[in-house]
Amino acid sequence: MEDQAEKLREIMRRKKEGAASSRPASAAKTNVKAADKPRIITVTSGKGGVGKTNLSVNMALAFARIGKKVIVMDADLGLANVNVMLNMIPKYNLYHVIKKQKTVREILVETEYGISIVAGASGFSQIANLGEEDRKDFIRELDTLSNADIIIIDTSAGVSSNVLDFIAAADDAVIITTPEPTAITDAYGIIKIIATEYDSLNMGLKLVVNRAKGAAEAKSVADRMINISGQFLNLKVDYLGFIYDDISVPHAVLRQKPFMVVDPKCKASICVQHIVERMDRNKTGESHGFGAMLRRFFGRSTETV
Ligand SMILES: Nc1ncnc2c1ncn2[C@@H]1O[C@H](COP(=O)(O)OP(=O)(O)O)[C@@H](O)[C@H]1O
Ligand SMILES: [Mg+2]
């Protein structure tokens, strides 16, 4: 565990150095559309099964309802399930992109809910940890999605170089936890690794407490994490909100529909709406979008080649 954390810190350190290096010409052209770059939001957790996919999909719907063009990208390369949650079996998924058989644009599919998805590549453990070159190609592919307002990236749980690359490229990194001690500990673990290099990442770290009994329980979990992060990591984490533990969620999952669709008035739906309203109000200072994303990648690669 120590070893893994050390390796990841090294990756982040190299990324930081790369981001600081001069921007290569290939990244410059992506800044042409500076005014309407998509806002990239990652949804990450320390532990699996805490609600990343439910939050990603339902947050996308809430954004769509306020008029945003949203894409959900299923970047959980080990346990992809955005498409399962929406009862869709897209013919192509990220596997085909990674194998260079398709482009991201070609595999983008519209859903009946007014959002689009990029389906993940479930069960391909050999690609769950892509090599450096493949990751770079993959991120370059994402540039073609630049006509969206918001791209929500549902990542795998835990720390891997894939996840950290996505977080590094994001405008907002949402960390989700439940009140369970194990989930909190693991969420703190991932925050700690991000924090080590936070200065260079220049994005908002936001916390969502899922499956809470109520506002008070969620607030106390959030306060604890925010205090520890501030005290020991000198890192500011914003509390974005909570989602009730709500039976409507598993019911909707069973029906393979988003809970925002099955029961738009349920407690969980109202909570997600609040979270999205808050996110929409607090846009991160400036959208870094693909320009920054590519800069980090190419910056890093110029340093490593
Ligand atoms: N707010 C909630 N209330 C009740 N159950 C929930 C809630 N959020 C998630 N769950 C349960 O947890 C399961 C895992 O959620 P999911 O979004 O797939 O997690 P992850 O993507 O982090 O693995 C869901 O299928 C659902 O049964
Ligand atoms: Mg998931």
Q: Which two tokens stand for residue 175?
A: 């960390």
Per-residue pLDDT of 63-108, as tens digits, reads 999 999 999 999 887 777 999 999 999 999 988 888 889 999 999 9
Residues shown for the chain: 305
Per-residue pLDDT of 243-298, as tens digits, reads 999 999 999 999 999 999 999 999 999 999 999 999 999 875 444 455 555 545 44
Ligand minimally distant from the alpha carbon of residue 176: 1
Residue nearest to atom 16 of ligand 1 (CA): 51
Per-residue pLDDT of 4-20, as tens digits, reads 555 555 555 555 554 44
Q: Which two tokens stand for residue 52?
A: 């990343």
Report the percentage of the chain scoring pLDDT > 90.
Answer: 50
Query: Which pairs count as long-range contacts for 97-100, CB under 8 Å and 24+ apart, including other chains?
Result: 97/138, 97/141, 98/127, 98/130, 98/134, 98/138, 100/137
Alpha helices in the chain (DSSP H): 2-20, 25-28, 52-65, 82-85, 94-98, 104-107, 125-128, 132-142, 161-169, 181-196, 198-201, 215-233, 248-254, 259-262, 267-281, 289-304
Ligand minimally distant from the alpha carbon of residue 244: 1
- Ligand 1 atom nearest residue 243's Cα: 1
Q: Which two tokens stand for residue 79?
A: 């346990």
- What residues flank ligand 1, with Cβ below 6 Å? 45, 48-54, 210-211, 243, 245-246, 249-250, 253, 268
Per-residue pLDDT of 117-148, as tens digits, reads 999 987 665 555 677 777 777 777 777 788 89
Question: What domains can you pick out in the chain, each with its CATH number?
Answer: 2-304 (3.40.50.300)
Residues lining ligand 2 (ion), CB within 5 A?
A: 52-53
Report how far ligand 2's centroid is from the alpha carbon of 194 (Å). Answer: 20
Pocket test for ligand 1, best of 79, 249, 255 (most atoms within 8 A of CB): 249
**Mean pLDDT, the chain, integer:** 81
Once rounded to an integer, what is the mean pLDDT over residues 229-243?
A: 90
